[in-house]
Structures are given as C-alpha cells and as structure tokens.
Amino acid sequence: MLNRIAVTISVLFSPFLLPIASILLIVRASVATMQQGLLWMVIVILFAGVLPMLYILILFRLGRLSDVRLTVREQRANPLIFSLVSALVGSGILHLLNVPQEIVWLCIACVINGLVLTLITQVWKISFHSGVAAGCMTGLATLISSQFIYLFILLPFIAWARVHRKRHTFLQTIIAAPIAIANTVVVLQLAL
C-alpha cells in the first residue's frame, strides 16, 4: 500500500508535469481571451512537456537511457539539457507573442531552477521532484494568490515518496526545495 502511495505521489508531482500545470494555472488566471489562452497553453505543453518527453523516449529506444524516469544520475545530463533548451525556446516564443510577463518569467524561473538542479545532479543526485514542486508552489503563491502557500504542506509527502522509493536520500529531497524557492523568488523579484 505504501509503495502505491509513493508511486502515485511521484507521478502526480512529476518534474515534467508540475511546471506545465503551474504555468497553465497562471495562463488561466491572466488570459484575455480563451483563444489566446489556448495558444499559450499549447506552446507551454509542447515545449515544456511533449518535446522533452519525446526526446527521452527516443533516447530510451536507442538504448542510451536505462529507463524513462532518468533514475541513473550519469544518464540525466543530455535529456535535462534538451528539456532546458526546449523550455527556453518556448519561453522565447511566449515572449514574442507578448504573453503577460509573469507567465514568461515563471517559465524562465523554471528553466533557471532546472539549470541549477541539472548542474548539482552531475555530482549529487538532487531531487528534481522536491525542487520543481517547491519552485512551482512559490510561483503560484507569488503570481496568483498567497493562498497557494498552503501547497507547501505537500513537500514532506513528496520528499517521503522519493525516499521511500529509494530514488533519493532524505537530504537530497530536503536541499532541493530551498534552492528552488530562492531561485524562483529572485527571478520573479527581478522581473516583476
């Protein structure tokens, strides 16, 4: 039963899905017309989710990854760099479309968090689940409503799930959150 709960938490708070959900919430909160919002959502989903996931699947099918969850630290760099570049291109397209700046800057904060976590994971397998969740929660609380601060209650459950599944140590899950929170706050304060 605990294994199923840990897997469910890990899937729901996937570092590939959570930024998309967060940015989509912000798009929904700041959209002028539904047609405009749909275009923005498609761009976010394509560049932050679909293209990185396709790239990971291709690498897996070519035998360059042992699994699609990137559990082997040494195999993370290439797919993570591709994901960051893809997200950065998507952010640039959103900027060119004159999307509200808070959306663009949250995308940039996600890229910066991803870059920092990618650099750290080259020497120490830091938890992207914890870091990305903390960064997204910070963005939602800053850009939509301070009531999103209550989402931080979920961080210990995410950390527990990652440790329970033996994907990370307790310290790897704990250290990721303040790094992502600090990065997100700094980016959003500089931008807005």
Tokens of 53: 């996931």
Q: How confident is the model at residue 19 (pLDDT cuts 50, 70, 90)?
A: confident
Whether the pLDDT of residue 49 is over 70: the answer is yes
Which H or E run includes 59?
helix 51-61
Question: Residues 65-114: pLDDT tens digits?
Answer: 999 888 888 898 999 999 999 999 999 999 999 988 888 998 999 999 99
Cβ neighbours of residue 16 under 8 Å, at least 6 residues apart? 48, 49, 52, 53, 83
Q: What domain count does the chain have?
A: 1
Question: Residues 112-161: pLDDT tens digits?
Answer: 999 999 999 999 999 999 999 999 999 999 999 999 999 999 999 999 99
**Residues 70, 52: Cα–Cα separation, whole Å:** 12
| Alpha helices, DSSP H, located in 63-192 | 77-96, 101-121, 128-143, 155-164, 170-191
Q: How confident is the model at residue 34 (pLDDT cuts 50, 70, 90)?
A: confident
Whether the pLDDT of residue 27 is over 90: the answer is no
**The pLDDT value given to residue 73:** 82
Cβ neighbours of residue 78 under 8 Å, at least 6 residues apart? 59, 64
**The pLDDT value given to residue 30:** 78
Between residues 33 and 76, which one has the greater pLDDT? Answer: 76
Its sign, for the CA torsion 152, 154, 155, 156, is positive
> Domain limits at 89?
2-191
Q: At what angle do helices 128-143 and 18-30 cross, to 10 degrees?
A: 10
